[in-house]
Amino acid sequence: MKSNFNLATYNPAKKYAGFHFFVLNKGLNSGKPLLEPCPNCFVLSCASEEQKENLYWICFALWQGKRFHQLFVGSCIEFIRYKETFNLVQESFLKTKNNPAVFQKALDLLKFANEKDLHFHDLALTLKKIKIEVARDLIR
């Protein structure tokens, strides 16, 4: 079964339309899905908004699960190659098609956990700012 998405190297001179997101391809965070492009990324183009959403979260899960780490090459700065990245994403995408109910349940849980993680990160930053202000007021 062939997937109907495309992975390509990001070109800043090209305008991307339609349903797409970006995947970091250089550094220790290689494989991380991005909504905005950066110089070292792939662009993953999809056939629909639903497919884009599913592939984004598949890439997020692969990145969080450190599955991209097995693809790292490079002695100084790690990077992932196009072909291995495409194959891993395609294989994972096809696996989700076999059991959509389980995938949807896991996807909902992953989104919830990520939302809470972002919330707690923001809360920690706010608490840090409060501590700094209290400390400044204490020594004035």
Q: 103 lies in a domain?
A: no
Provide the residue range defining the domain that includes 131: 109-140
The pLDDT score that the predictor gives to residue 2 is 56
The pLDDT score that the predictor gives to residue 75 is 85
Same domain, 113 and 89: no
The pLDDT score that the predictor gives to residue 6 is 94
Measured from the Cβ of residue 41, the count of other Cβ atoms closer than 10 Å reads: 20
- Predicted TM-score (pTM) of this structure: 0.84
Q: Hey, what's the torsion of the CAs at 57, 58, 61, 67, to 10 degrees? A: -150
Same domain, 93 and 51: yes
Positions in the chain whose pLDDT score sits under 50: 1
Same domain, 65 and 31: yes
